[in-house]
Structure 1
Amino acid sequence: MTRATLLTITAPTGEPAPGDPGFALADFDAPQVRITDLAVTRGDGVFETIAVIDGHPQALGPHLMRLAHSAELLDLPVPAEHVWHEAVLAGIADYRSRNGDGGELFAKLIYTRGIEGTGAPSGWIFVDEGEDFSRQRLGISVVALDRGLRHDVAETSPWLLAGAKSLSYAVNRAAQREAARRGADDVIFVSSDGYALEGPTSNVILLAGGVVRTPQTDQGILAGTTQAAVFAFFEERGYATEYRHITVDELEAADALWLVSSVRQAAPITHLDGREYPVDAELTAELNRYLLSRSH
């Protein structure tokens, strides 16, 4: 039997009926999703993945804000923030009551346009044990891949949904398979006009000349909850931080690079397209301790 906890969101939008929390525990091993749900047939929906450390969902508020932003970009109804919030907490509590308190967990939130023709959104949350990222937190090799779009695509072509965390992840998965074919662990997407963007599931952080930078999000980049915490970490230690457009040449000339994400946390880059980068193991370990200990 699967250890994971599954909750269906019975009131993904609006107010649930009096006495109804808007969600219900479900059997993870039983069929749950209709094959006509547009998440299945079209990838028409959005999602969030939240790290859960010692029973605490990290950056739950920002993740729910990002879920709502992605929903807005897809013209989905506004998700009921309080329902999703309480469902996450209930899912974590159920998982821990059955499996114990140890380990790093994750909560995945799925919000879709629902069964085709009904006009009623659907949603669910599941909580499970996370992958062991201890090796990747020591260092990863990365290749740069052209996303095939200009850096200003979010402004020129908003219908392409750049910056939305949609369920349509086939391209991101294909990029990661291409990295593996090239003997690398992950990818940094670059724009067709020469700007660094993001990873398939992560944000890019670079240190250059004592300044910590990340590509600004008006380039169709998903705003990172972990990236914001990384900036807080460095600012507390006296580093300047900056959002801006970063050219590929600047990326390649960086003193140090990381990919950061909600569940993996911070993975230092040891090689980019075969070029070696120094890794400050002590700084990265301190950064990951900070990220894993977050209480908000």
Structure 2
Amino acid sequence: MTVLVFIDPSAPAGRVADASAPQLSVLDQGVTRGDGVFESALYKGGAVRKLDMHLARLQSSAQLSDLEVPAEDAWRAAVATAVAQYDDEARRSASAADAPGGEAEAVVKLIATRGSEGSGHGTSWVTVSPAPALGRKQRESGVRVLFLDRGYDSTVAERAPWLLMGAKTLSYAVNMAALRYARSNGADDVIFTSSDGRVLEGPTSTVLLATRDGDEKRLITPTLRTGILPGTTQGALFDQAEEAGWKLGYGPVVPQDLLEADAVWLVSSVRLLTPVTSIDGEAISTDGELTAELSGLIEAIE
């Protein structure tokens, strides 16, 4: 079940369309060139989590890409229409697991492209669909990851802004290829490293690690100066963790730091907090107590 709502000037609340029918021009540059930006948010318990942060990052990605996207109020209206439609369809499905306000989770995607070449305007839409079951499973079981070289050094974002490092664009072919490589080599996911040996991010996630020193707990993530995508869940979690007494750190992080940490996680808006259980086939430390505490903090994020 997928709900589709286009942002359309003629429909202030958004235009509901049939997601199973052709809707997008084959000339749209989002299709032909991956020229566009997007966000993925979690819908659970009747609320779209961190919508303000996702809208802010969408605007940031659009600015980095020199792409004009609809105003925030248009996105909010389309999201409201989409989740209301999704809830209506879930009720009609008569499935308790999909009942609105329950434990079922859905993914809300906001997508904006440059549109067809020469059209002078872009294409923007919102979809809502059930969250993949694999994500919830991996939160519980953890993931095995591989270090993969991204092929850039950690200063490339400063030297080459046209690479759009730090923008969440539709050009995800490399990220998907990395995940396929991992799965074909006995792993579940990937942590990218730079060519000069810095830890960067996952194809669809932010890297976190924790260390304990007596009663002090420290939560660390790679620095944004390496050109990684600013993680909305990581940012919100850091705010919660700081209030709970954690110390915070922002890289630089090297692979050995992950191997020696008390726990490592991949964190994202849909999969939330996912423990890393091994790296390059080597088992690493996990900490159920820390995972439970941070998972509780993430659940409290609105």
Whether TM exceeds 0.5 here: the answer is: yes
- Work out whether 1:140 is the aligned partner of 2:140: no
Among candidates 2, 23, 32, match of residue 32 of structure 1: 23
Matching residue's letter, 2:136: S
- CA drift at 1:243: 1.4
More divergent stretch after superposition (201-210 vs 143-152): 201-210
Which residue is equivalent to 1:127? Answer: 128
2:42 to 37, 51, 72: 51
Kept after mapping to 2: 8 A contact 1:154/1:220: yes
- My pick for the range that moved more, 212-221 or 278-287, is 278-287
Q: Partners in 1 of 2:263 and 2:45 — Cα distance?
A: 30
Specify the code of the residue in structure 1 equivalent to 2:172: Y
Structure 1 stretches of 5 or more lacking a match? 12-16
What's the counterpart of residue 5 of structure 1?
3
**SS of residue matched to 2:112:** strand
Pick from 55, 64, 79 the counterpart of residue 73 of structure 1: 64
Matched positions, count: 286
Query: How far apart are the structure 2 equivalents of 1:109 and 1:211?
Result: 33
1:92 counterpart (49, 59, 83): 83
TM-score (norm 2): 0.91
Q: Which amino acid aligns with 2:153?
A: R
Aligned to 2:208: 205
Give deviations 1:96-150, integer Å, cap 9, x for gaps.
Answer: 0221314101101110000111121111111011012232112111110000001
How many Å separate the matches in 1 of 2:42 and 2:299?
A: 9
Partner residue in 1 for 2:282? 275
Q: Secondary structure in 2 aligned to 1:135? A: helix
Partner of 2:95: none
Higher share of residues assigned helix: 2
Counterpart amino acid of residue 123 in structure 1: S
Deviation of 1:58 after TM superposition, in Å, equals 0.6
**Aligned amino acid, residue 233 of structure 1:** Q
1:46/1:71 contact within 8 Å kept: yes
Paired with 1:72 and 1:236, the residues of 2 have a C-alpha distance of: 32
Gaps of 5+ in 2: 92-99
**What does residue 219 of structure 1 align with?**
226
CA distance in 2, matches of 1:257, 1:52: 25
Q: 1:293 to 1:4 in 2, by over 3 A?
A: farther
- Report the Cα distance in structure 1 between the residues aligned to 2:28 and 2:79, rounded to whole angstroms: 22
Q: Please, what is the CA RMSD of the aligned residues?
A: 1.5
Q: 1:266 aligns with which of 267, 273, 287?
A: 273
After TM superposition, which residue ranges in structure 1, 4 or more long, deviate above 4 angstroms? none
Alpha-carbon distance, 1:22 to partner: 5.7
For residues 285 and 138 of structure 2, the distance between their equivalents in structure 1, rounded to whole angstroms, comes to: 15
- Cα distance in structure 2, aligned partners of 1:276 and 1:194: 21
